[in-house]
Amino acid sequence: MSSVNEETRHPFLEGLSKHRGAPPTVIVIFGASGDLTARKLVPAIFNLGLDNLLPGEFHLIGYGRRPIKDEDFRKMMDEAIGVHSRRSLNKEVWERVRQNISYHTGGYDEPETFESLAKKINKIEKKLGREMQRMFYISTPPSVFGSVIKNLGSSGMAQVHVQTKLASKVIVEKPFGRDLGSARELNAVINSVFEEPQVYRIDHYLGKETVQDLLVQRFANSIFEPLWNREYVDCVQITVAESLGVGSRGGYYDTSGALRDMIQNHTMQLVALTAMEPPVSLDPESIRDEKVKVIKAIQPLKLDTDLVRARYINGIIRGDPVKGYMDEADIPSDSGTETYAAMRLAINNWRWQGVPFYVRSGKRMARRASEIAIQFKRPPGILFSEGDKYNVAANTMVISIQPDEGVTLVMNSKIPGLETRTQPVKMHYRYSTTFGSNTPEAYERLILDAMIGDSTLFIRGDETEASWKLLTPVLKQWETSGSVGMEEYAAGSWGPSQSDHLLAQRQHKWRRSG
């Protein structure tokens, strides 16, 4: 018999199936007619329904400026399930969710429509005969985040229920601010209405299975952790590469760029999880305390030597010609926005001092590949070197986040034959081979966790500020210099040559990802 009480074990240890038991919930999605609701949120909710993980009483209210009738909104969601769900439609399950979906038309700065929303929720509760957990999912353009939050406060919807003590929750989508100043302002507005434990800042990378597995690989195996430090690690390389371009999102993307869109959030989270100290426990605060310590230990970036920014020009991807960034729809001719950023980070703490963390992210790169590579120091070149020519490869552990989720160890082996020659070989572990390929989508995990009140996989306010603090001087400089100093790379390549120089300065080379 297990010595751990099943009821009190942390959900992080249990996988999705132990997550049953969220209270009756009403979720309001602000920005409901947008892309995210159809592509990710409602399909995630349907899939939770399939796994019997939704509370017995579950209501979804879409909120948006565009007037839409309830039934039309439900039809839009039918289509969303058909196109975007990971698993195919189960009519019975979907009907159970669908019958409790409605739509509320309103502006984001109109207190009256928040009042009427509150009335609608009260009516649902009255009919049910009990108070419900209220979850507010803010997926609007960032310019109205503040108004939504203030109106949630003034309409009384953010309050803790008197009888059941059920607290309201707010889930905030990215981008969380544009720089340190705006992130601080947003945190201040949020914290004037909600207590920090009610706040769930989304970074969907944290909901990815492989990102969660990173902690398991590190702290559930005894063979890696003793080597995970400056004594044995030569460098760490983190790549988040996409083969897609900006597509129809040019208008948004040009106000953002790779640094804001990918590095400040997703990539920094990967750095933090890779470099952090073992947390004292798996509770959310212990993990987030360790992550924030790492981000704070990163040295200010040297703007002239530690960074590369670039944008794609036309090129070829999988045999097809694709256009350059400046020719994409909605990109102004004087754009100074980067579609690729690379940097060398120095984490100045006991474990990592002197070990460069190279980070890169870009659109329209050779292929979609996100991975963390820990490159270990080479053994002394005494036994298997050829004269001056050192020919033993560095051992590398590669944690592949997507698309071929898994872990690879690169090590040296003897080539069979009478001569003693070595060759790097790979030991692979693939998720799909071991566990099958139908793993939950990040948003399933995150919506469920928010519903049961587990904030481990969400970003705390101080984390986001620490990350912006590091990157804001870079953004300011890049904004001032516009396209001066912007490098170019051909679509379908691995980025500009300047990013190779960033590594060559320390005798390193980017790993060939994917």
CB of 362 to ligand BG6, least distance (A): 11
Q: Which residue is nearest to ligand BG6 (CB)?
A: 261
Minimum Å distance from CB 194 to ligand BG6?
Answer: 23
Q: How far is the CB of 120 from ligand BG6 (least distance, A)?
A: 31
- Minimum CB–partner distance for residue 261 and ligand BG6 (Å): 5
The strand pairing partners of 380, in sequence order, are: none
Residues 6+ apart with CB under 8 A from 391: 384, 385, 422
Which is nearer to ligand BG6, 242 or 338 (by Cβ)? 242
Q: Is the peptide bond before 175 cis (omega within 30 degrees of 0)?
A: yes
The nearest distance, CB 217 to ligand BG6, in angstroms, is: 20
Beta strands in 393-481 (DSSP E): 396-402, 406-414, 422-430
Catalytic residue IDs: 266
CB of 174 or CB of 201, closer to ligand BG6:
174
Point out which residues bind ligand BG6 (CB under 6 A). 174, 242, 261
Instruction: Pick between residue 244 and residue 415 the one whose CB is nearest to ligand BG6.
Output: 244
Least Cα distance to 133 among 190, 47, 58, 54 occurs for 58
User: Which of 270, 226, 507 has the alpha carbon at shortest distance from 394?
Assistant: 507
**Of residues 281, 298, 289, 283, the one with CA closest to residue 460:** 289
Q: Is the omega angle on the peptide bond into residue 332 within 30 degrees of 0, that is, cis?
A: no
Q: Which of 337, 317, 145, 318 is nearest to 250 (CA)?
A: 337
Give the E-state strand segments of 294-414 in sequence order: 307-313, 315-317, 320-322, 340-346, 356-362, 369-376, 396-402, 406-414
Q: What are phi and psi of 420, to 5 degrees?
A: -95, 95
- H-only helix segments in 99-179: 111-128, 145-154
CB of 380 to ligand BG6, least distance (A): 40
Q: Distances in Å between the alpha carbon of 272 and those of 297, 303, 321, 497?
A: 10, 21, 37, 27
Residues sharing a CB contact under 8 Å with residue 512, sequence separation 6 or more, in sequence order: 494
Burial class (CB in 10 A: 0-12, 13-18, 19+), 90: middle
Q: Which residues contact 329 (CB under 8 A, 6 or more apart)?
A: 248, 250
**Residue 50 tokens, joined:** 């399939």
Closest to ligand BG6 by CB, 24 vs 257, is 257
Q: Please state the closest distance from residue 39 (CB atom) to ligand BG6, in A.
A: 11
| 187/267 with CB nearer ligand BG6 | 267
For residue 421, give both structure tokens.
């020659």
Q: Considering beta carbons, is residue 242 or 328 the nearer one to ligand BG6?
A: 242
